[in-house]
A = this chain, B = another copy of it.
Amino acid sequence: MVPHLTTALTGPLLELERRFLEAETTIERWLRGQWLEHSPPFYASVDLRNAGFKLAPVDTNLFPGGFNNLNPAFLPLSVQAAQSAIEKICPEAKNLLLIPENHTRNQFYLMNVARLAALLRHTGLNVRIGSLLPEVTMPTTLTLSDGQTLTLEPLKRLGPGGRRLGLHDFDPCAILLNNDLSAGVPDIIKDLHEQFLIPPLHAGWHVRRKSRHFTAYNEVALAFAQEIGIDTWLINPEFEVCGQINFHERAGEECLEAQVDTLLYRIRAKYRDHGIDAEPFVIVKADAGTYGMGIMTVKDASEVKDLNRKQRNKMAVVKEGLQVTEVMIQEGVPTVETVAAGTAEPVVYMIDRYVVGGFYRVNTQRGIDENLNAPGMRFEPLAFETGCTLPDNTQAPDAPPNRFYAYGVVARLALLAAALELERSETT
């Protein structure tokens, strides 16, 4: 099942898909060249928006949950990609420690952890799960709703002077974080010796900024667009930043208002140039936020001036109760994909430099211009029915294998941007 597009695709996006199809060899070769220069993150997921006139990433997650939502038929791809990734990072690895988020009551998330652990075991690693939860003081086995079990164990420093991190009787050579470090780096993970931490600590949300990612993406999109001869705007969401916001104290509102206005002005001009008959909007998001928290849709600068207390409270705090002081204002990309009257956006998963699958996030309660990954709101995952690596130029440019190929290409551009972003933040 593939979502319907609410508009007939005869405009720019169909052209974009056609161009991707024609240029497949060039695209794959160009990406291969990029991976010679830049190391992809171990894994990532990218939220995309397909507006019919534009196809762009809106968020790149370096600690992806949701592996359980991928089509099981494509699991061998994940295993193969993970084999390749492990071989590059720590070929001699025998034991791998997986550190998940602390949501032990979120069954969906726990199934993701179980899926990830299973994947990694198939690559030939002993995988055990170390919990950051203080209440996990001994091995604790959780039974998931599908009957699987998952054992969380307390983390423990090992070796002389506690140089290494592990579990009781388990000294891993690699540690895979599936915890985004929103609350900062816990002491127990600091100062590790001779252990591979994947991804590196500076990928955590305690230092990561969406705006740095999209600055890198902007460069990648420019270079790519030039390579295959397309208009960059078709794949690049514009953005602005405000650095010193305090929603509670209403500080920095002028910056926000001005930047929203500037961005809306630019989008309006682009819509005019491209003959797009739609109302521009922007998304205001915490620059260091995740989990769909601290996000609002804005269609006019006046809206951010007159935030009521409830709206301010919503924007002021993100995951782990962190205060929001830096804000990104991103061009809103509406989605034209719907599934059974729900609004849908594609999420593409990658391991190493390979696209290993994806799913649609479907939300029946949200509009085409809203964040679908809303806290406390259910979304339905709908696994992609075909892969993202086998475009078929005997079919129409928007036939499923070709649309998914386009998604896989744009997602890999975001992956490359993440590689650049991590290279740069390593030295800061």
A binding-site residues for B, Cβ under 8 Å: 24-33, 35-36, 73-77, 79-81, 83-84, 86-87, 91-92, 94, 121-126, 354, 387, 389-391
Closest Cβ of chain B to A361, distance in Å, is 22
Bound CA span A74–B77, Å: 9
15 new A-B contacts, CB < 8 A, other than A76-B77, A80-B354, A80-B389, are A24-B124, A25-B124, A25-B126, A28-B124, A28-B125, A29-B124, A32-B83, A32-B91, A33-B91, A36-B92, A74-B76, A79-B389, A80-B80, A80-B81, A83-B354
Contacts of A31 in B (CB 8 A): 124
Q: How far is the CB of A32 from chain B (nearest CB, A)?
A: 6
Return A346 CB to nearest CB of chain B, in Å. Answer: 17
Q: Are A27 and B91 in contact (CB under 8 A)?
A: no
From B121, B124, B354, B389, give the contact of A32 (CB < 8 A). Answer: B124
Closest partner residue, chain B, to A121 (CB atom): B25
Q: Are B124 and A87 in contact (CB under 8 A)?
A: no
A31 to B27: give the CA distance in the assembly, Å. 32
Q: Give min CB distance, A14 to chain B, whole Å.
A: 22
State the CA gap A80–B28 with chains docked (Å): 11
Cβ B389 vs Cβ A28 within 8 A: no
In the A-B complex, the 5 residue pairs with the closest CB atoms:
A28-B124, A29-B124, A76-B387, A76-B389, A79-B389
The CA-CA distance from A26 to B125 in the complex, in Å, is 8
Report chain B residues within 8 Å CB of A81: 80
A217 to B73, CA, bound (A): 32
Contacts of A122 in B (CB 8 A): 24, 28, 389-391
A38 CB, nearest partner CB in chain B, Å: 13
Cα(A243)–Cα(B391), bound, Å: 51
